[in-house]
Amino acid sequence: GSYQAQVFADGGSPFPFTPKGLEEAARRDLPRRYFDYIAGGAGRERTVAANEAAFGRWGMTYRVLRDGAAADASTTVLGTPMSMPVMLAPAGVAELAHPEAEVAAARAAERAGAVQVLSAVTSASLEEVARAAPQGRRWFQFAWPDDEKLARSLIERAEAAGYGALVVMGDCHVAGWRTRELSSGFFPFQHAHGLGNYISDRRFWELAGFGSAPEDRDRLTPEMIEAAASTWNRVFTRPALLPADVALLRSWTRLPIVVKGVCRPDEAARLCAAGVDALIVSNHGGRQLDGGVAALDCLPPVATAVAGRVPVLFDSGVRTGTDVLIALALGADAVMIGRPWLYGLAVGGQAGVEHVLRSLREEFTGALALTGHRSCASLSAADIVAVAPPT
């Protein structure tokens, strides 16, 4: 049944329905430094603001006298079927939002039929997440470690655990200038948050100088935690990741290779030529480069440069079902959400993430019907017009 019908039957919902309301609820529920880590961006946070504001420069047109019951939000990307073109973006250290972290998110995504892109930096390991939601579909975000054996170990584990694609983080070759983190003095990795995939890896402990992985992860000594944090800082990601590395990665895995963080059409064309299987237009939710162009403004030129050769995904600033429609009309095959699912997690664990996903799906399906579509496939630039920004 519809989510609206259920909410009215229940006499309401404990969770907010507006993006601002959800953010405010998360702000209330979380320790300040954790909320700031999640909500914050680089510098003055102009890119964060621009990402959301960019959607306000597009208006949808609707079509009348249609059959609304026929609208179906489901789609398939890289062979992965999904109930709607909305995925959970990889977000590290979700344990700051809720102790059940990505396991709760995995269960919510499984129930909503949404794809979870698991971050490399999680509290639960990629195997634990897969076991928690065995019917769920998920991809793995690969932070290419500065050690080949560790890199290949993570990839083999993701393949063995049934992940359907590797998402290479292309935009973190340096740390963003994150002013809220600098102000609070809180950087989660200093405290060994989010190291589940690493402390379950034998190669990681070899690098940390311990020879073998500990039997019992819940009983790490302070010495081991310190060694893990410093090892992680050392090997987390190769400082240089170049288009030619796509071929190297291809020689290591049969999984589709997706590059995340593409904003320029020239680079999109080069990556297509280098053989990537999909691109994600994203500016990391404005967390890397302050004053960067709004991600949505990068989407049409990238989609044009890609010219249908590979799927184009999009994230950074998506907050509502109508945002999803605008992104698809501008050339995205699907979108991802970052902060919204973390806020849902913060306010309600699994139920909160389910609320966010069901709301997006229902609002998007309604928008599809109102703009005169039965499926995502027929959306195009003809469904939207450029409008003056709201004041």
153: contact with ligand FNR by CB under 6 A: no
The string of DSSP letters for 199-253 reads: HT-HHHHHHTT-SS--S-GGG--HHHHHHHHHHHHHHSS-S---TTHHHHHHHH-
- To ligand FNR, the closest distance from the beta carbon of 47 in angstroms equals 10
> The tokens of 63 are what?
């079509």
Closest CA to 54 of 281, 258, 279, 267: 281
Closest CA to 237 of 337, 102, 119: 119
The string of DSSP letters for 182-197 reads: HHHT--GGGGTTT-HH
For 219, residues 6+ apart whose C-beta sits below 8 A from its C-beta are none
* Window 159 to 198, contacts with ligand FNR (CB under 6 A): 169
315: contact with ligand FNR by CB under 6 A: yes
Identified binder of ligand FNR from the candidate list 38, 229, 259, 367, rule CB under 6 A: 38
- To ligand FNR, the closest distance from the beta carbon of 175 in angstroms equals 12
27 known ligand binder: no
89: contact with ligand FNR by CB under 6 A: yes
* Window 279 to 298, contacts with ligand FNR (CB under 6 A): 282, 284-285, 287
Using Cβ positions, the residue closest to ligand FNR within the complex turns out to be 338
The string of DSSP letters for 32-89 reads: HHHHHHHH--BTT-HHHHHHHHGGGGEEE----S--GGG----EEETTEEESSSEEEP
Contact 94, 343 (CB under 8 A): no
Identified binder of ligand FNR from the candidate list 75, 116, 123, 141, rule CB under 6 A: 141
323 known ligand binder: no
173 known ligand binder: no
59 known ligand binder: no
Total of residues contacting ligand FNR (CB under 6 A):
23
- Binding mask of the shown chain, residues 243 to 282, with x at each position contacting ligand FNR by CB under 6 A: -----------------x---------------------x
For 47, residues 6+ apart whose C-beta sits below 8 A from its C-beta are 41, 283, 286, 289, 290, 291, 292, 294
Distance CA 339, CA 349 (A): 14
123 known ligand binder: no
Rg (CA), the chain: 20
Evaluated on CA atoms 57, 58, 64, 66, the torsion sign reads negative
- Binding mask of the shown chain, residues 202 to 241, with x at each position contacting ligand FNR by CB under 6 A: ----------------------------------------
Identified binder of ligand FNR from the candidate list 71, 192, 199, 337, rule CB under 6 A: 337
- To ligand FNR, the closest distance from the beta carbon of 345 in angstroms equals 11
Catalytic residue set:
284
183 known ligand binder: no
For 326, residues 6+ apart whose C-beta sits below 8 A from its C-beta are 55, 58, 60, 296, 384
Of 78 and 318, which CB lies nearer to ligand FNR in the complex structure? 318
316: contact with ligand FNR by CB under 6 A: yes
- To ligand FNR, the closest distance from the beta carbon of 64 in angstroms equals 32
In this structure, the number of other CB atoms found within 10 A of the CB of residue 344 comes to 31
Identified binder of ligand FNR from the candidate list 16, 19, 85, 90, rule CB under 6 A: 90
- Binding mask of the shown chain, residues 46 to 75, with x at each position contacting ligand FNR by CB under 6 A: -----x------------------------
77: contact with ligand FNR by CB under 6 A: no
Which residues are part of a known binding site for glyoxylate?
37, 178, 284, 287
Q: Using CB under 6 A as the criterion, which residues of the chain lie in contact with ligand FNR when the complex forms?
A: 38, 51, 89-92, 119, 121, 141, 169, 260, 282, 284-285, 287, 315-318, 337-339, 342
